[in-house]
Chain A
Amino acid sequence: MNENNEIPSAPHDGRLPEPSEKCDTCAGRATCEKWREDFPTEWAADNYVTRREFTKFLVLTSGATVLGNGYFVLKNALAASRPQPARPLQVAVAGEMKVGDVKLFRYPTEEDPAMLIRLAEDRYVAYRQRCTHLSCPVHFNAAETRLDCPCHNGAFDAATGRVLAGPPPRPLPKIAVMVADGHVYATGLVPQSGEGAAEGNQA
């Protein structure tokens, strides 16, 4: 490279070119450069995209978008064909949590984060930890007894799971809790209409 950041020029046949015998690719330039003959495309032309090429690219991307939509359809169909039965799961020992404590667990499958909250001495509630807006994890706010979603400032009532604020469209899915033999068990997902029946009391 020379001081002008140009590749050193070399005459095609090994001798210095006369101004009158420059090749076509070097026409209009001070020196005749061999590499221009090997790579005759200018930078400006190389980066030039025609409207036709851009249209083809958009149509290709349009096809990729359809595949993206198809992925969700396929995933839903596969999930529907393999329903996961909710089995009882031991979540905690009754005495290990203080009032206002939270314990995280996964229910009904390993891909479903959930949280158990001790609201009072004899009252446990459990919810799925995903916000019903865009699946952000919700956190227990003990001071206000509510579940906050930090993504879009959504809030749920910790006692019932109903929406208090923000964009979530539905209550937080509730998990039925049972206390037996000194242990707290998650026993299944509560249908949205059956709120209030999921609170676990000390047996």
Chain B
Amino acid sequence: MNTRSRTEGRDQRTAWWQRRSQAVGVILFFVIVVFLIQLYLIDIAVEEHLAEQHALALPTFLASGFCFLLNLGFLRYLRDLDREKGK
């Protein structure tokens, strides 16, 4: 009985680690996607600047700032996961 409960506990821990590992992978994927969007935005801003147009500078800045906040949120979620590990 005791051995059985120990085995179940180990299985639960393994499953939890696997879920956590998947979560880190998914967060990294989202961060990469958001970062690629930001690269696209700064590319637009540079092209506009070189073409001496100023209409899109502010919208791209705001959108890029939103993406950065999103990335910060993902990073915070990751930090919370790490804290959960420590408990």
Chain A interface residues toward B at CB < 8 A: 51-52, 54-56, 58-59, 61-63, 65-66, 68-70, 72-73, 75-76, 80, 130, 132-135, 169-170
CA distance A72 to B51 in the complex (A): 13
Q: How far is the CB of A64 from chain B (nearest CB, A)?
A: 9
Does A52 lie within 8 Å of B45, measured CB to CB? no
The A-contacting residues of B in range 40-87, CB under 8 angstroms, are: 41-42, 45-52, 54, 57-58, 60-61, 64-65, 67-68, 71-72, 74-75, 78, 82
Does A58 lie within 8 Å of B57, measured CB to CB? no
Does B68 lie within 8 Å of A135, measured CB to CB? no
Chain B interface residues toward A at CB < 8 A: 24-25, 27-28, 31-32, 34-35, 38-39, 41-42, 45-52, 54, 57-58, 60-61, 64-65, 67-68, 71-72, 74-75, 78, 82
**B contact patch SS:** helix
Contact of A62 with B54 at beta-carbon distance under 8 Å, contacts A55-B27, A69-B64 already known:
no
Q: A55-B75, A59-B75, A135-B51 are in contact. List 10 more A-B contacts (CB 8 A).
A: A55-B24, A56-B75, A59-B31, A62-B31, A69-B60, A72-B49, A73-B57, A75-B49, A132-B52, A134-B47
Contact of A76 with B54 at beta-carbon distance under 8 Å, contacts A59-B75, A62-B71, A70-B61 already known:
yes
Does B41 lie within 8 Å of A69, measured CB to CB? yes
**A contact patch SS:** helix
Contact of A59 with B42 at beta-carbon distance under 8 Å, contacts A66-B64, A69-B60 already known:
no
Cross-chain contact of A66 among B27, B61, B74 (Cβ < 8 A): B61
Residues of B within 8 A of A132 (CB): 51-52
Q: How far is the CB of B52 from chain A (nearest CB, A)?
A: 7
Residue of A nearest to B56 (CB): A72
